[in-house]
Amino acid sequence: MRRLRVLAAILSTLIVLAIAVTAFVWVYRPGMKAYAAHRYVPPSSPGALTATWFGVTAVLLSDGDSSIFIDPFFTRPEGILNLALNREIAPDEGLIGRWLDSANIKRLDAVLVSHSHYDHGMDAGVVAKLTGALLVGSESTANIGRGNGLPDSQLRVVAPGSPIQLGAFTVTFIESKHAGATGGTPTGEITQPLVPPAHYLDYKLGGAYSVLVEHREGAILHHGSAGFVPGALAGRHADVVFLGIAVIDDLDVYLRQVVDSVGATRIMPTHWDDFARSLNEPLTPMPVAVRLDSFFDDVKTLRPQVKVETLELGERVALFSKTGG
């Protein structure tokens, strides 16, 4: 009996310690102070091309005449437990409409989706519907659009490596990989129109892409997830990389394959914020998967010539000077 009591006491202590460590990791999310120090300062003679970041990998690019939105995600279903239990979720059209109105987004040439997980693709069909945009991505993305009532005339399934002209933008989807050992669970394809509400895990990966956006003022690479296909970006050029930084395996290799490959000297980190929190709450780093302070320090050490610049949520900023580049 005495031995059982000792074992029970040890087990109880270990459980309490595990809970305490988990709670500490969840609450302690370092890096926001360092984030402020890297805030982007627009050029003194701003060009027309602007970028607006809305958390995760949601980036709006516009020159006033042409506008494209990559990975729009406003609904952000709350609570990690709901994800763990694979509960049903759905895009909130009213909420999406209010965010579009607040950002003065009335019309878009296209909505682009880098891969079809819910935090990249779930809202895309609704955004395309509300703005009259073409929805561009994989066949899985097209099935998200069909599930939200988009006709096939408003859908474009990409051929990787083939440029698409979208207003003033030339866009090329380049094959990539999702970060993480699983390759992006849930993997596979969405093979039928995905009608919401649907479960978290119904939003399967589909194709995963880097998205190269070329404009007369400069070139932008949107790299939404921290995986890559070795050599896939060789020979491409981008001035700025919107770089997903969640679940990086080897930062030096990642920078070499993505940032160095395109010759970029500027990084704007994305996919660092906790997307299980509403956009009405202050952004905080994703627990466990992201250490912003370490990312800034490590890039400075590994690539001192590369500038890391952070955007404020919803703030529209010029990416280049009037002379471009």
Closest by alpha carbon to 263, among 286, 289, 235? 235
Q: What is the largest CA-CA distance in the chain?
A: 81
Would you state the pLDDT for residue 325? Answer: 61
Contact yes or no for 197/88 (Cβ under 8 A): yes
Contact by Cβ (8 Å): 120, 242: no
Question: Minimal CA–CA distance to 155: which of 147, 145, 164?
Answer: 145
The whole-number pLDDT of residue 277 equals 92
Three-state DSSP state, 119: helix
In this structure, are residues 310 and 40 in contact, taking their beta carbons and an 8 Å threshold? yes
pTM over 0.85: yes
Residue with structure tokens 């703005």? 131
Cα–Cα dist 313/322, whole Å: 24
Output the pLDDT for position 19: 47
Residue (of 126, 237, 231, 130) closest to 177 by Cα position: 231
**Residue at token pair 């945009």:** 133
Tell me what pLDDT residue 289 has.
83
Q: pLDDT at position 154, please? A: 98
Give the pLDDT score at 190: 98
For 324, which DSSP code?
-
Looking at domain 31-318, its CATH architecture is 4-Layer Sandwich (3.60)
Give yes or no for a contact between 58 and 72, defined as CB atoms under 8 angstroms apart.
yes
Instruction: Say how many residues make up the chain.
Output: 325
For residues 58 and 227, the answer to whether their CB atoms sit within 8 Å is no
Residue 321 to residue 303: CA distance in whole angstroms: 24
Sheet with 317-318, side-by-side order of all strands:
155-157, 134-137, 110-112, 67-70, 59-62, 50-53, 317-318
pLDDT at 27: 54
Write out the chain's pLDDT in tens, 325 residues: 666 665 665 666 655 455 444 444 455 566 788 888 899 999 999 999 999 999 999 999 999 999 999 999 999 998 878 888 999 999 999 999 999 999 999 999 999 999 999 999 999 999 999 999 999 999 999 999 999 999 999 999 999 999 999 999 999 999 999 999 888 999 999 999 999 999 999 999 999 999 999 999 999 999 999 999 999 999 999 999 999 999 999 999 999 999 999 999 999 999 999 999 999 998 999 888 888 999 999 999 999 999 999 999 999 999 999 876 6
Task: Name the packing angle between helices 292-302 and 251-258 (round to 10°).
Answer: 70
Token pair in block for residue 109: 């040439």
CB 170 within 8 A of CB 109: no
CB 187 within 8 A of CB 205: yes
Side-chain-side CA neighbours of 180 within 13 Å: the count stands at 14
Domain boundaries, the chain: 1-30, 31-318
